[in-house]
Amino acid sequence: MTGTADHAIAAERIFDGETFRSDRAVLLRGERIIDVTTTPPPGVPVTRLPPGAILAPGFIDAQVNGGGGVLLNDDCSVDGIARIAAAHRAGGTTALLPTLITDTRPAIRRAIAGVAEAIRLGVPGILGIHLEGPFLSPRRIGIHDPARLARFGEGDAALLTGLGDRGITLVTLAPEEVPPGAVADLVARGARVSAGHTADDGPAIRRALGEGLTGFTHLFNAMSQMGPRAPGAVGVALSDERAFAGIIADGHHVGDLQLRLSLRLIGRDRLMLVTDAMAPVGDPSGAPFTLFGRRIRRDGDRLTGEDGTLAGAAITMIEAVRHMSGRGGATLAEALTMASLTPARFLGLDGRLGRIAPGYAADLVALGADLAVIGTWIGGRAARTA
């Protein structure tokens, strides 16, 4: 892109989505990046980041159940969705999919309508919706409410894709719980489909991959494991190059060895960080958290039901980046890619998000030398500063 910049952000280190570059300035015009240069043009206002700071593409989170004291299942109003997004901006996330966990069909309609209205009104960072359930395996239900599980039937493909072209729709389902052709129908209607909460040992998942399934939801968690002969969902995810996989790097959901193994086998270009965050994230009140009437215990950043079942996470994306690069075997560059460009690729948005390059959206995060978030920009506008 060419033209006169109206603002520049300069940093000692810029991560462009794949590699680090030293002493650069990112030139912005409106909502876009127009250039990356060593010297800002005369007369252009410059925001200079502190010594040692990093400017990187804003993080993209494909699985955000809640934040700021709000759970999407409980509050899918525009205000509620805005509070979720604001809570995660504090952790460097500039784009996300509010996620509805297993619920009734009327609740799905309400959530889609709420997200559509949030997008129409320009709530910063809302890309679409992630519908995690209700077509999941009762054998791998996790913390979801088994009473809200459903059988996939006539009209459900249309229901799940009701957002249409107003935003992205991601559907998590258990391939063995939907009839042949259901995944292909969802994909034909514009949805992206991931396997999750599945007990299938491989055949139904492979069939779904053939129909256009492209993801695995929270790898290792709530899915069939790899055995001596049956690959399970984990084995297919680790070996099939057609699909991406989300992974929760919080020290509770997945062991550090498994994080390292996943990165080695899948690679940073298909393994993406997700938070699976719940309402307590970014909620300073410390208010009690319940999920469909069940009390959820919080111990630091660990959330569990009364029986010890993990109940989502209480982290932001920067915490996942720090864990992945500190204990998960990734370099900082790999972890930052897994939080930005890789989810952008998964969602089909890598032509405008996930990089610092001319023509890309000016969705950015500034990190201090200690990897604390010190600022974010969405569409070139400062969304949070330290």
Active-site amino acid positions: 276
Ligand-binding annotation for 352, yes or no, is no
Four-CA torsion 98, 100, 105, 108, nearest 10 degrees: -10
- CA-to-CA distance for 313 and 300, rounded, in angstroms? 10
Ligand-binding annotation for 310, yes or no, is yes
Tokens of 81: 């969705």
Ligand-binding annotation for 218, yes or no, is yes
Ligand-binding annotation for 222, yes or no, is yes
List, in order, residues 6 or more apart from 346 with CB less than 8 Å away: 62, 192, 214, 215, 244, 270, 272
Ligand-binding annotation for 197, yes or no, is yes
**Residue from 279, 266, 386 nearest 337 by CA:** 266
Ligand-binding annotation for 143, yes or no, is yes
- Cβ(175)–Cβ(202) below 8 Å: no
Ligand-binding annotation for 229, yes or no, is yes
List, in order, residues 6 or more apart from 312 with CB less than 8 Å away: 65, 143, 276, 277, 278, 303
Q: How far is CA 313 from the centre of its chain?
A: 13
Annotated binding site for substrate: 143, 221-222, 229, 253, 310-312
Annotated binding site: 132, 143, 197, 218, 221-222, 229, 253, 310-312
Annotated binding site for Zn(2+): 132, 197, 218
